Amino acid sequence: MVEKGLVGLSRCFRSAVVKSNRSGRLLFVGTPYTCLPFAEFLTYSIRDLPVRSHFSPNGETEKIVELVDRKGYGYTLEDCVAREGFQIVVLLGGLAMPKTQVDPSTLRRKLSSVSDLDCVIGVCFQGVMDKPEWRDTFKFKYFINAEISRVSLFEF
């Protein structure tokens, strides 16, 4: 499946979640600040599915929060009661950025305490996570790579 733009990203993600044939709890794992808005955006694309989204900053399982729809505003963070039993884990590309220094093997050990990791979806830009250390460690069920072709700034 090949799509374009942010709408294409959300369509690909929704397709992966639907094809996974899973319901229940989904855990986004990404960097604080930069990945969280993408988790919120992608959650919007699956809002009608029987899936509850959560977020873990850098795989810190004790900091997992739930993404809850606050009608008219978007998704907000709320405390998470149960920090285990996630049927889908979504790894966001910020984890693979050199500045974050997240080790895939260490991350897998942390996440194995909250999920069986038998349905892992990778979502990244510019192939940042399309590397052997990530592919071999997590054995992605689905992998979404978005390319940004051009960004322009104009001053008038």
What would the two tokens of residue 54 be?
A: 């959560």
Cβ atoms of 19 and 119 closer than 8 Å: no
CATH fold for domain 7-146: Rossmann fold (3.40.50)
29-43, 70-84, 87-101, 115-129: the lowest-pLDDT one: 70-84
CA distances from 136 to 58, 104, 130, 140 (A): 19, 9, 10, 8
pTM of the entire predicted model: 0.94
Is the pLDDT reported for residue 124 higher than 90? yes
Residue with the larger pLDDT of the pair 82 and 12: 12
pLDDT of residue 2: 78
Is the pLDDT reported for residue 80 higher than 80? no
CB atoms within 10 A of CB 149: 6
pLDDT of residue 128: 94
pLDDT of residue 98: 87
